[in-house]
Amino acid sequence: MILSRFNPGSDLLTSEHSIDRKDLDIISALDEIGAKASAKKLSETLGIPSRTVRYRLSRLRRNGILHPPQAIPHERKIGLGEVFVAMETSRKGTLLLRAVIESIAQFYWYSDSYGKYNGYIAQGVYPLASPSITTTLLRAMQDESLINDFHVFDIVDYEYKRADYDYFDIDSGWTWDWNEWYNQIEENLEKPRPIFSKMEQNTRILEFDSNDVLLLEQIVEDSEATQKRLADILGLSETLVNKKLHRLEKTGIIKGYRSVFSPFGNHGMIVLVLELEEPVERVLRSFYQLPFQLYIMMESKTRYCIRFSLSSKDHKMFLRGFDLIRPHVVSYFFQTLHSSHTTIPPIPFDMFDKTSGRWEFPMEASLEIIRNAVS
């Protein structure tokens, strides 16, 4: 689930919540070796005493910089698709659309957005058995003159690219040499490189039951829950919980766990939706070489959505590099995100029917919300 893992950060950390180089090294190590890494493992990796690591982790959490690890589910493997939607708000929708988005169970997150589509960006889920749900809802919004236009990006898989804090200075922010990136782009486009992305275009639905769904719900809510607590909630033995959890992780229903921390620097969130022509891998590699935290979502082998934070001083420099990539881009558009809102839990677990083993979406109720909004 992409969730508000994409929450745009905007403010510099205050002196009260200041960090230093060792803090950044710990955060970077958590990203690299795993969000659930022990203080002992971090100590061995960084060459810092375990006691120091534990103290710094505690302080980072206490100051609201480091948050509990977050499970990264791939819900498509249990029958749920995920969409990214850009909506062009109409004059009538300016006052009404936000309330509609917040009331429809499909959408779990949204943000004000400007770019090709001036209005809102929203993310939501839908049962794979009913792939037309999103388009049906958006066309109903068009029919009621809430939106003028829309774009749907169906996320079939996604990856998280960690930030490289070797290029981050506590006092001055990112110290990335953009000329280095321009050279990397030219090298990528000239020479074939090995395939590096692990994203899959055709994700098959795996076998699962209601206990798997309930276990996933608990892990999404609290990735640090003990197996004893999970066993008590599910009414299963710890051995069976351990077996089920291991299967969720091994099959990629849980893609992994990532650290969640407050953003550093005065950044704005940018969304880039693009369709590429060959050489796709060479172009994508150029984005992976940026030092910033990136989220790369795939709709097909040629269609991608990339989200990242960028300071205003770096916008022009990024666009210069994008100019080098553009000859290999069939189409694209940019959006900026300004304020994000989480409306409901990211996976609508209450919509899973234990009897049928299917996800049920309240389509008629959602259409009624749209109709009532303008009545």
CB atoms within 10 A of CB 121: 26
Residue 156: half-sphere exposure toward Cβ, Cα within 13 Å? 15
CA neighbor of 365 nearest in space, from 105, 111, 151, 71: 105
Q: How far apart are CA 298 and CA 200, in angstroms?
A: 8
Structure confidence by residue, pLDDT tens digits, 252-292: 999 888 887 766 555 788 999 999 987 788 888 899 999 98
- Judge whether 69 and 36 are in contact, CB under 8 Å: yes
Q: How far apart are CA 156 and CA 2, in angstroms?
A: 11
Whole-number pLDDT of residue 281: 85
Domains recognised in the chain with CATH numbers: 3-67 (1.10.10.10), 75-156+341-373 (3.30.70.920), 158-199+263-340 (3.30.70.920), 210-250 (1.10.10.10)
Confidence band, pLDDT 50/70/90 cuts, at residue 235: very high
Cα-to-chain-centroid distance, residue 63: 24
Structure confidence by residue, pLDDT tens digits, 43-99: 999 999 999 999 999 999 888 888 888 898 999 999 999 999 999 999 999 999 999
